[in-house]
């Protein structure tokens, strides 16, 4: 079964010279607006805003608008006027929505016992469950892709570096 591609929309990041940071607008999604203290924060907030907006539309059975091209958005004078967009300073970026949350699913996994104890200690310090820590770790892994370029089945760098060495006491 083919999976439906996640929706993506162009966000327009407008710098705020007085306050600093950026206002973020999605021209194709009425009311989908956010802001960030700096460029990285604005991009992260854009992802949250887009994903939440789409999830809300789906939950209410409302249609998801069709995405326009950057050229069409750029030509939309009413959008630029309404949001005080100076195209020389604005940044356009494509934002891909996160998939909607699914239902919790019980699974059976095998982990190194020391890693499991470290996960449990971290969860306790943060007031989280083991599942919440594992889910956050998976989210971080999937969004940052730190394993890009690693061959299938290749062990983590730390495991390769310690191969053949006896643990220190």
Predicted confidence (pLDDT) per residue in 29-85, tens digit: 988 999 999 999 999 999 989 988 988 888 888 888 999 999 999 999 999 999 989
At residue 147, the pLDDT reads 77
What own/partner pairs with CB < 8 Å and gap ≥ 24 does 54-59 have?
54/7, 54/97, 54/100, 55/100, 55/101, 58/100
**CA proximity to 69, closest of 14, 28, 13:** 28
Question: pTM of this prediction?
Answer: 0.60
Query: Do 83 and 35 contact (CB within 8 A), yes or no?
Result: no
- The answer on pLDDT for 116 being more than 90 is yes
Q: In this predicted structure, what is the pLDDT of residue 87?
A: 92
For the chain, give the percent of residues with pLDDT over 70: 83
Mean pLDDT (whole number) for 95-101? 77
Which pLDDT does position 100 carry in this prediction?
64
Q: Does domain 8-96 have CATH number 3.30.160.250?
A: yes
List the end-to-end C-alpha distance of the chain, in Å, as a whole number: 51
Predicted local confidence at residue 160, as pLDDT: 47
pLDDT of 76:
93
- CA–CA gap between residue 131 and residue 79 (Å, rounded): 43
Q: Measuring CA to CA, which residue among 33, 152, 17 is closest to residue 82?
A: 33
When pLDDT is averaged across residues 142-165 and rounded to a whole number, the result is 63
pLDDT at 143 over 80: no
Q: Please name the residues in contact with 92: beta carbons below 8 A apart, sequence gap of 6 or more.
A: 10, 11, 12, 13, 70, 73
Q: Using CB atoms within 10 A of its CB, is residue 130 exposed (0-12), middle (13-18) or buried (19+)? A: middle
Provide the 8-state DSSP code for 105. -
């Amino acid at each position: 079964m083919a999976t439906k591609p996640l929706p993506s929309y162009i966000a327009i990041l407008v710098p705020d010279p007085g306050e600093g940071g950026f206002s973020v607008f999605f021209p194709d999604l009425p009311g989908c607006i956010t802001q960030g203290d700096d460029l990285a924060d604005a991009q992260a907030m854009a992802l949250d805003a887009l994903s939440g907006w789409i999830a809300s539309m789906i939950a209410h059975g409302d249609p998801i608008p069709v995405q326009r091209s950057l050229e069409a958005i750029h030509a939309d004078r009413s959008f630029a006027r309404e949001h005080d967009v100076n195209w020389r300073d604005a940044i356009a970026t494509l934002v891909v929505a996160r998939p909607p949350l699914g239902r919790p699913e019980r699974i059976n996994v095998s982990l190194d016992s020391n890693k499991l104890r470290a996960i449990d200690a971290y969860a306790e310090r943060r007031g989280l469950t083991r599942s919440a820590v594992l889910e956050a770790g998976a989210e971080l892994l999937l969004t940052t892709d730190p394993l890009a370029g690693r061959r299938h089945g290749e062990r983590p760098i730390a495991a390769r570096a310690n191969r053949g060495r006896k643990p220190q006491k």
